[in-house]
Structure 1
Amino acid sequence: MNDEEIEIISSSADLNEVGKVLKDFLKNNENVFTFPLLYEENRRVILWTALFQRLQQESSEKIHDLCLAVIRILSRDKTELDSLVCEKWITTLIERGGLYNFVSVEDETNSPLDMPNKEIVVEALKCLCNIAFNSEVARALCAHTSIDQALIGRLRVYKDIPFKEEVMLYDMKLLFILTALRQDIKKKIKDVLHGMDYLISGLNELLLEATLPETEANASACAIDEQSHYLLQDSHQGIACEILKTQFNLIIHSGSDEPVDEEEEAMYLKLMPVLAALLCAQATSEAKLMELHINIANLLTSVPPMFYSYLTPELTVGEVCQHEFEGRNMDALEALVQLLHHRLESTAGTKNQYEDLSPILTVMVKSARGCRAQRKWLRGRVLPPLRDVSRPPERGRTTRNQLCRLLTTPVTAVRDLVAEFLFVLCKEKVGRMVKYTGFGNAAGHLAQKGLLGGGRGAQYSSSSDDSDTEEYLEAAPHIDPVVGCTRPPRADPFEGMTEEQKEYEAMKLVNLFDRMVSEGVVKPARVGPDGRPQPIEHVMEFREHVPNRPQS
């Protein structure tokens, strides 16, 4: 934008002329994120000032939406944005976003007031999102103007506000940014404004609006499961995802090992049934559904395990569900299993294993540890009874195969989560873990836990629900426990050799091993009393203590 165009915006009385300049700028810069030409001769400051002066003039209301759209584009450039924004401009955007009508959430008689038209409100909220994301000064000014109170106030009356889907989407985006980047705002929303309660109510409202009549549900069988009661449209799905991300910000530091007070317990008891309902909902596409489930999984990582049982409530008389186990509705847990499989498929061979897999794996571990029925269901889905043992456990496309491949990934955090998940599903029995993964894949995890000499978890019931198939029992004598599968018969490498040749080959092997040890390539070790490997100085030390045989 040149000096002449900036001058038109600043001083022209012809709103049509100003509007043309603004429209041309928007058309030419729709996908631009930096504006180096504006850094020269103070053009940027002059342009921003002119735009906000127009916003403060009621006579220019005709072009307010265009001014806000230009500010939205300009606010993408974070260069020296901190020195540019001021409190007056932030309050102008808050006013144009209709937020000043909702400052008092304590006033029970407060009701939605008239707001500017939809385009102005939505553009103002987009501007606030961009500026708050790119400027620490802007976030501090937002805290000073009590915008957090206004956002919660508008959330409280969500169902009554005009054009609520568009408004609430950007309200929640802004709330997510502020709670992620301002600790004082996060603390105020959580402890003073009781934001979690209103966010949970917001999710409930979305589910109520997404409820389908029985006839409509049957007519939409191609897009929605027969047993599902909810179909989230894209606007509702977007709002739900932003609410879930904001909730994650509010409880992320709670810590699953810290004691839960009565207020937090009541909050979790309200939250978990809503998350279970969202996991059972459908979306307009698989990508939208996976995005929703990913955000739910992220939030569940901060929920204490004691509340996981509420994801799979007991069925009442006459109630039906798609996946039932031991009298419980397992639909929500099945959705999480599908998410795990989807993430394993989509991250195979990528560099984003930790970011993509750690949340859902953490949820799986906490679910398996926190609820016996969920552990048994997960075991049946992830580690079904073995039938074909002709291939190594890491070869194939089943969930078990993909998890076993990750037992040797260089991403140690993912490897440890996968190993812990499988170990818990095996009731922390070494023999069962080796059976499903092979000793070679499980050795690292067993060494960390001091279980190389065998052992089992003590916190599980003694009764076993393991059922070996006829195929497995028939092949069991021929299974190599190191690789976890059968191996075809091999020719005897010593066949046709004389005793002298055999002795010569054996001495070559001894000398090679001695050379590797002396040069530090390998270091021999034995299993110590604590079940962990301990280095030895001489091979004869192997004879001093014979390690225990693995127990099942």
Structure 2
Amino acid sequence: MAAPSSNASKLSQVQALVDMLRTDLQDHHLPPEKRVITLEKLKVFGRDVNQSDPIFTMEAKMLCKHAFEGTDSKSAQEAMRCLANALLKVPGTRQIFVELGYTGQAVNRYQNDSLDEEFLAGRILFLVTYATAETPKWLEEYKLANYLNDAITRHGIIYSKINKNEQPSALQDMAFTETTKLLFNLTHFAPEKVDLFSRSIPTLFKILCRRTLPSLPLQSSVAHLVNALLNLDLSSQAGCVFPSFDPTCNVARLIEVLDLSVESPNDNRNNQRNQLFNEAGAPLVTLLRKVFEISSDQAKKYMRIRLLPSDEERKNPRGKDDSLASRLLQLSTSAAALNIRQHLASMLFEVSNSNPEEFVRNVGYGYASGLLLSAGVELPQSALESLSASSDSSGRLFNPITGQALDSEPETKDPFSEMTDEEKEREAERLFILFERLKQTGVVDIQNPVEKALHEGRFEELD
């Protein structure tokens, strides 16, 4: 909608609209259509904070009355849009909203089977959680936990009707996103109440498994769904997290999201994907770690197969191919993944049963050493000695530093094998001169190895 006329100053136009809407609360002189248009004009002005002061002060009480005390649903929703915009643009209005005492009415909007009102109420309450410590009161006294669970159930029904080639409508996806964002904040600010949302765990996993994943899942509602699961007590619904018909289906879906979210840091074409993962990937990795902790043996085995390098990959040093495990290893030491690499290393360590020796055997000491050092975990000398003779499941010995099978390592050529005796003699003279010059600098006290070899009789006189 185009902005209202700029003939008068913006501030005076905003004030005139606010006065008109305040008067309408008393005498209801505006027809519903005119009231909606007036609120739309005010919403457009509110997109820019400059000269829109009346929207962001106690005048917001007028908007609250239109939003939660009016009888016209279209006007109420437009007023809620104005409020949501104000709460986003000027954080100070969140405290004003709490002081005006309209939180309970906003919660009640979740009872309606309306995607528009779920979207708007969800966004308003999500923003207000940052301005109050009363979230536990919302959950039980205002019954918000029940309303949120019911809303998630309704979304589960929507997804259960979707065919493979269909997706939820844009409004359905937007409403679900606001609900999951609110759920995350509620469980974050009121962790003692997370059990109130346990019945939503199966539905959230069902939605995760049945919706089509976009190419960048962490840029979609999938990321908010993962966040919503993060603080919940998954062990309370372990039978649904690891269903008997397929104990690995939910784990497989989370790993699929992970697979779509990471690329090799050496592939410059996919910097955007890894940048996004670096910024938003920690909840996904943390959720996988929580799931592994409560997993059945079958699910743990599946996670190890998918997340850790296989014996087949020992043909090359660890982290040198394009498998998911290799990409995770590369990111766990990448300077371009500062926010996420510690989370990745910790996940790989835990999937290795939190056993330092097993961790080194799985990923190679080169990758494992950083995490072990930062965590203060010391690998015993006996373990290092046993690793030097370690073998994979097929019995092949492997290099404990790189993780590569010894029979796959390139043969090391003797650098002197193709030199003539005269060339070897000239090389020895060159090295002798270089070491003598180094000694003369006084920087280091070093014995010339050529001189040492001569004294020890390791030089052979040539004809």
* TM-score interval, normalised by the smaller of the two chains: 0.7 to 0.9
Residue 226 of structure 1 is matched in structure 2 by none
Residue among 83, 100, 104 paired with 1:145:
100
Decide whether the 8 Å contact of 2:10 with 2:52 is kept in 1: no
Question: Which stretch has the larger CA shift, 141-150 or 480-489?
Answer: 480-489
Decide whether the 8 Å contact of 2:153 with 2:200 is kept in 1: no
Amino acid in the other structure paired with 1:293:
V
Amino acid in the other structure paired with 1:451:
E
CA distance in 2, matches of 1:440, 1:353: 23
CA distance in 1, matches of 2:345, 2:230: 18
Amino acid in the other structure paired with 1:378:
M
How many residues are treated as equivalent by the alignment?
415
User: Aligned-pair distance for 1:351?
Assistant: 4.1
CA distance in 1, matches of 2:135, 2:151: 18
Residue among 275, 292, 300 paired with 1:375:
300
Residue among 392, 397, 401 paired with 2:322:
397
* Unpaired segments ≥5 residues, structure 2: 264-269, 384-390, 445-463
CA distance in 2, matches of 1:368, 1:505: 56
Identity %: 18
User: Aligned-pair distance for 1:250?
Assistant: 1.0
TM-score (norm 1): 0.65
CA distance in 2, matches of 1:82, 1:187: 32
Residue among 442, 445, 452 paired with 2:379:
452
Is the partner of 2:30 in helix, strand or coil?
Answer: helix
Residue 174 of structure 1 is matched in structure 2 by 124
Decide whether the 8 Å contact of 1:305 with 1:369 is kept in 2: no
Decide whether the 8 Å contact of 1:121 with 1:167 is kept in 2: no
Write out aligned runs for 1:193-208 (5 A). 193-208=142-157
What whole-Å deviation, never above 9, does each CA across 1:30-57 have from its counterpart, x for those lacking one?
A: xxxxxxx89xx9x333211211233343
Is the partner of 1:436 in helix, strand or coil?
Answer: helix
User: Aligned-pair distance for 1:127?
Assistant: 0.7
User: Aligned-pair distance for 1:404?
Assistant: 0.6
For the pair 1:52 / 2:6, whether they are aligned, the reply is no
User: Aligned-pair distance for 1:506?
Assistant: 9.8
CA distance in 1, matches of 2:356, 2:434: 35
Decide whether the 8 Å contact of 1:365 with 1:417 is kept in 2: no
User: Aligned-pair distance for 1:67?
Assistant: 1.8
Relative to structure 1, the CA distance from residue 512 to residue 388 in structure 2 (aligned partners, 3 Å threshold; closer, same or farther) is farther
Residue 5 of structure 1 is matched in structure 2 by none
Residue among 40, 44, 47 paired with 1:76:
47
Residue among 281, 300, 305 paired with 2:229:
300
Residue among 409, 416, 424 paired with 1:487:
409
Decide whether the 8 Å contact of 2:11 with 2:52 is kept in 1: no
User: Aligned-pair distance for 1:144?
Assistant: 2.4
Decide whether the 8 Å contact of 2:56 with 2:93 is kept in 1: yes
Decide whether the 8 Å contact of 1:429 with 1:455 is kept in 2: no
More helix by share: 2
What whole-Å deviation, never above 9, does each CA across 1:376-405 have from its counterpart, x for those lacking one?
A: 221122226321423332223321011110
Is the partner of 2:315 in helix, strand or coil?
Answer: coil
Relative to structure 1, the CA distance from residue 96 to residue 79 in structure 2 (aligned partners, 3 Å threshold; closer, same or farther) is same
User: Aligned-pair distance for 1:86?
Assistant: 3.7
Question: Which stretch has the larger CA shift, 365-374 or 332-341?
Answer: 365-374
CA distance in 2, matches of 1:350, 1:143: 39
Is the partner of 2:281 in helix, strand or coil?
Answer: helix
Residue 438 of structure 1 is matched in structure 2 by 364
Residue among 36, 61, 64 paired with 2:35:
64
User: Aligned-pair distance for 1:455?
Assistant: 8.3
Question: Which stretch has the larger CA shift, 73-82 or 359-368?
Answer: 73-82
CA distance in 2, matches of 1:381, 1:414: 19
What whole-Å deviation, never above 9, does each CA across 1:211-244 have from its counterpart, x for those lacking one?
A: 32xxxx6xx3444xxxxxxx64332222111111
Relative to structure 1, the CA distance from residue 446 to residue 279 in structure 2 (aligned partners, 3 Å threshold; closer, same or farther) is same
CA distance in 1, matches of 2:123, 2:259: 29
What whole-Å deviation, never above 9, does each CA across 1:421-469 have from its counterpart, x for those lacking one?
A: 111111233343234322212111122332333689xxxxxxxxxx956
What whole-Å deviation, never above 9, does each CA across 1:330-369 have from its counterpart, x for those lacking one?
A: 3222221111112214666754444222111111222222
Amino acid in the other structure paired with 2:198:
L
Amino acid in the other structure paired with 1:45:
L
Residue 128 of structure 1 is matched in structure 2 by 83
Relative to structure 1, the CA distance from residue 368 to residue 337 in structure 2 (aligned partners, 3 Å threshold; closer, same or farther) is same
What whole-Å deviation, never above 9, does each CA across 1:518-550 have from its counterpart, x for those lacking one?
A: 8xxxxxxxxxxxxxxxxxxxxxxxxxxxxxxxx
Decide whether the 8 Å contact of 1:272 with 1:308 is kept in 2: yes
Residue 243 of structure 1 is matched in structure 2 by 179
User: Aligned-pair distance for 1:279?
Assistant: 1.7
TM-score (norm 2): 0.77
Is the partner of 2:300 in helix, strand or coil?
Answer: helix
CA distance in 2, matches of 1:271, 1:77: 38
User: Aligned-pair distance for 1:203?
Assistant: 0.5
Is the partner of 1:481 in helix, strand or coil?
Answer: coil
CA distance in 2, matches of 1:174, 1:167: 10
Is the partner of 1:394 in helix, strand or coil?
Answer: coil
- Pairwise CA RMSD of aligned residues? 3.7
CA distance in 2, matches of 1:334, 1:280: 9
Relative to structure 1, the CA distance from residue 314 to residue 509 in structure 2 (aligned partners, 3 Å threshold; closer, same or farther) is farther
Relative to structure 1, the CA distance from residue 404 to residue 205 in structure 2 (aligned partners, 3 Å threshold; closer, same or farther) is same
Decide whether the 8 Å contact of 1:294 with 1:339 is kept in 2: no
Write out aligned runs for 1:227-266 (5 A). 232-253=168-189, 264-265=194-195
CA distance in 2, matches of 1:455, 1:151: 63
Is the partner of 1:25 in helix, strand or coil?
Answer: coil
CA distance in 2, matches of 1:429, 1:204: 41
Decide whether the 8 Å contact of 2:217 with 2:261 is kept in 1: no
